[in-house]
Structure 1
Amino acid sequence: MIGVVLADDESMMRAGVRAIMSADPQITVVGEAADGHQAVEQVVRHRPRVALFDIRMPRMDGLAAAARVRRQAPETAVVMLTLFGEDAYIASALDIGVSGFVLKTGDPGDLMAAVRAAAAGGAFLSPPVARWVLDHLDGSRSRGARERVEALSPREREVLSLIGHGLTNAVIAQRLGVAASTVKTHVDAVRARLGVRTRVQAALVAYDAGLLDTGP
């Protein structure tokens, strides 16, 4: 069972997200909050596998709440709920170590996919968010990403590409026909060589380097 804490200052938004997630019997909302302070309290109390935080909330915004959760409950993966026009927050959220971004006006399936991916240790970016990231990359960043990726072994590049497509370690292991522990070793090596802390950051390097031009 995947426990989720949901935080959004709009009660109708919380009700809508809760209704979407209720369609999956493996996902349950264990706590709700209307502001950032309550969100952190709910996470610390319930220790869910995933926290869904709106970026803009009263008393403490979603980014500050996510940073506290990463310190106080690092076992909880944080996924940010965002709107178009909040793109300036993406870089800060990545630095904090969030596991994904879901567009509030996007496909409900993205929300479910993000929760499952985050719970399994994966990463997820709604397609519009991923496109925005790609559209706003400058050439030097793309070149730098390609140079960093070239330093990886062929197997590590393959693993990075699969991370970029949002696959979890278990799915990558099945795809490559290896043990999950072997995949974890590769993922740890990829993160270390790229100098990133999270799977989302690794996925963005994959985007930057052009590894995701083809399907997983």
Structure 2
Amino acid sequence: MTQTRNPPASPIPVRTKTTLPGGGYTGRSRRARTEPMLVRPLRDDRYVVETDHGTYVVDLDGRTCTCPDHAIRGSRCKHLRRVAIEVNEGRVPPPGKRAAACAVCGRRLFVPTTDVGPRLCDRHEIAVGDLVRDRETGRRLVVTRVTADRADETTTEDGIAVSEYETNADYGGHEPVVEAVYLDSVRAGDSLDATELKRYSFPASRLRRVGPDRSPESQAQLDAFASA
């Protein structure tokens, strides 16, 4: 066993009204930053903006706000500006995305609103065709499929949940399942169709991506698997 069990991602903390640095800004741009506001995304890609004087709904794509300043004067109000600032600074998700957390490290990330299941951040993301190393055995594999299914909810052909295997005990059951083929199961130049090789399922963090330096033989095997 090589690492402690990854805990489930912590819930995103409740936010409160905050201010932002206003140096160098004037007018509505300054008020958008220095007045206490709380921006919360809605499921329909709009945003609720809570202030000390009222609560308003902003449509960033439509460039509208329900506040009097926008409704009466048609101006680009401080609420519209504040939402744009928080989206640009990564404080809230842009339209079409929602906040999530990496299933391995808990890092906050934004994913499409239609996405379901556990997700991985850039640091831990694994893609089809990647060369990886099994942390338990040290053997190398090629990734053939990346799922959005949890390890504790996915069963193998033996009817056992991926997370229930003894060798997976130190990896999170909430992690997405990654399928891979052991690289040493065939030799370079072997005529066996790579699609016929046995796929194994792992919690994502059990597999570690291998750097780009590899032997010509390993590269030939990897190219064969990735194109199968």
Relative to its length, the structure with more helix (as a share) is: 1
Q: Mark yes or no: TM-score above 0.5.
A: no
Name the one with the larger strand percent: 2
